[in-house]
Amino acid sequence: MQRLLLGVDRLSTTLGQLFAWLIVGLTLLISAEVFSRYVLNNPHDWALDAQVQMYGTLFMLAGAYTLAKNGHVRGDVLYGFFRPRTQALLDLLLYLVFFLPGIVALTWAGWNFAQDALAIRESTFSATPLPVYPFKFMIPLAGGLLLLQGIVEIVRCVLCLRNGAWPSREHDVEEVDVDKLKAMVHVKDEDIAALDEFVVRQESHR
């Protein structure tokens, strides 16, 4: 069971990392369009549509990845103080009542939207139209991946209720832990305060 859960985690992680490269493409596209518009005086009417589709794809396909890393926003004010079994019970109820109906509806409606867009070869309204139906197929794809990862999280809740501890999950890059970083480079809070005072004195003498 644990191998299956981690396998789905790896799938969500791999796809999330793959589609994260859209950030690079989006940055290059925006930079090129700004240069073309303001330096060469040659704007492209399709550029904004392409940017919206790239960002929308990135946003939607990041959902399963973020859920796999337990990174979605939650109210941790009280939740973090609960025992694992209590956390699992709350999560399980929320998944069943809110998550599953919402994501199933998203996937179902997204598939219908995508089929309709494909049937009419839907495109943008710019002078140089871009096809919209490939972008709309990202909706059911994102919903299906999110649903799959959500089922894995529900299984984790059940396992935690049974065992009293959360099962492990696939790990990826983590945010910088400032305290660990200071310990690694042997920097103390007093050193940082002394450096701040030195900078302030230098600035006051100018």
Lowest-pLDDT range of 84-88, 147-151, 191-195: 191-195
Report yes or no: 3 and 28 within 8 Å, Cβ to Cβ: no
Instruction: Evaluate if residue 32 carries a pLDDT over 90.
Output: yes
What is the average pLDDT across 17-28? 94
Other CB atoms within a 10 A radius of the CB of residue 54 amount to: 18
Instruction: Evaluate if residue 180 carries a pLDDT over 90.
Output: no
The pair of three-digit structure tokens given for residue 15, joined into one six-digit string? 């796809």
Interaxial angle between packed helices 22-38 and 47-68, expressed in degrees from 0 to 180 and rounded to the nearest 10: 160
Instruction: Evaluate if residue 11 carries a pLDDT over 60.
Output: yes
**107-131: buried (b, 16+ CB within 10 Å) or exposed (e) per residue?**
beebbebbeebeeeebebeeeeebe
**CB under 8 Å to 131, separation ≥6 — which residues?**
121, 122, 123
| Residue ranges of domains in the chain | 2-174, 176-206
The pair of three-digit structure tokens given for residue 71, joined into one six-digit string? 């990174």
Q: pLDDT value at position 1? A: 77
Interaxial angle between packed helices 2-20 and 138-163, expressed in degrees from 0 to 180 and rounded to the nearest 10: 150
Which neighbouring-strand residues pair with 123? 131
- The pTM score is 0.76
Percentage, residues of the chain above pLDDT 70: 82
Lowest-pLDDT range of 79-88, 120-129, 165-174, 175-184: 175-184
Lowest-pLDDT range of 12-26, 64-78, 91-105, 172-186: 172-186
Share the mean pLDDT of the chain.
86
